[in-house]
Structure 1
Amino acid sequence: MKSAIIFSGTGPILILTTYESLTNPAFVKKLAAKGINKFVAIELPVEKVKSVYAGTFDIIMEDLHQTDDLRVLDYNGHNIFNAFSVKEWGPAIRFEPD
């Protein structure tokens, strides 16, 4: 399970995914289906996301399949930025199609 902020042309979204990598071709294809073709991803500690989004996190987890899945937890950049310190962010992962 991974949690990440995905920065794209329309702003940040907070996602949960069962993909092992945020550059997995199938994961990238799912983002593309949502209109996100290039992005910067910042991984967040799942336990921190769970503590911040408690009830919403649990509802999303009930709908999240065991493998190869992606769910948007929050699409309000203001909420996302206020919920997490940049000190909690992992390294940036940049993706752009060839």
Structure 2
Amino acid sequence: MKAGIFFTGTGPILILTTYGELNDPTLVTKLAQKGIKKFIAYEVAESLVKEKYGQQFNIIMGDLKQSDDLRVLDYDGHHVFYNFALSELGSPVYHEGSLRVLQAG
């Protein structure tokens, strides 16, 4: 089980996933299908997330083990950002999908 904070264009979100890495190609594809094509992700300790989110964590974990391999635990960017110290974040994982640059004119 991995927990990660994903910094996206609209702000950070906290994700729980059964994928072994935060840049797993299948996970990246699923995120892209949800409109997240570019991100910086940091792994956070599952025990720390459980401590901070308590019952909400347990509910989401129950759902995660049943069927899906990806759950958003918190999408309130302000809450996610201020709930974790920067020293609690793992090494960054960068993903920049194929971006199409539009030209004016």
TM-score by length of 2: 0.87
1:95 maps to 95
Match in the other structure for 1:71: 71
User: Which residue does the alignment assign to 2:57?
Assistant: 57
Q: Which runs of 5+ in 2 are unaligned?
A: 99-105
Query: What's the counterpart of residue 22 of structure 1?
Result: 22
Specify the SS of the correspondent of 2:65.
coil
- 1:9 equivalent to 2:12? Answer no
Unaligned runs of 5+ in 1: none
Q: Distance in 2 between matches of 1:88 and 1:55?
A: 21
CA contact (8 A) 1:18 1:67 kept: no
Runs of 4 or more, structure 1, over 4 Å off, are none
Cα distance in 2 for residues equivalent to 1:68 and 1:25:
16
The answer to whether the 8 A contact 1:17-1:70 is kept is: yes
Deviation at 1:97?
A: 2.3
Percentage of matched positions with identical amino acids: 54
State which drifts further: 8-17 or 75-84: 75-84
For residue 28 of structure 1, report the CA deviation from its aligned partner. Answer: 0.4
Paired residues in the alignment total 98
Mapped contact 1:27–1:68 kept (Cα < 8 A): no
- The whole-number CA distance in structure 1 between the counterparts of 2:33 and 2:14 is 16
- The residue type paired with residue 51 of structure 2 is S
Q: State the Cα deviation string for residues 38-87 of structure 1 (Å, max 9, x = none).
A: 11001101100000000100000110037871100001111112211111
What pairs up with 1:38-53 in 2 under 5 angstroms? 38-53=38-53
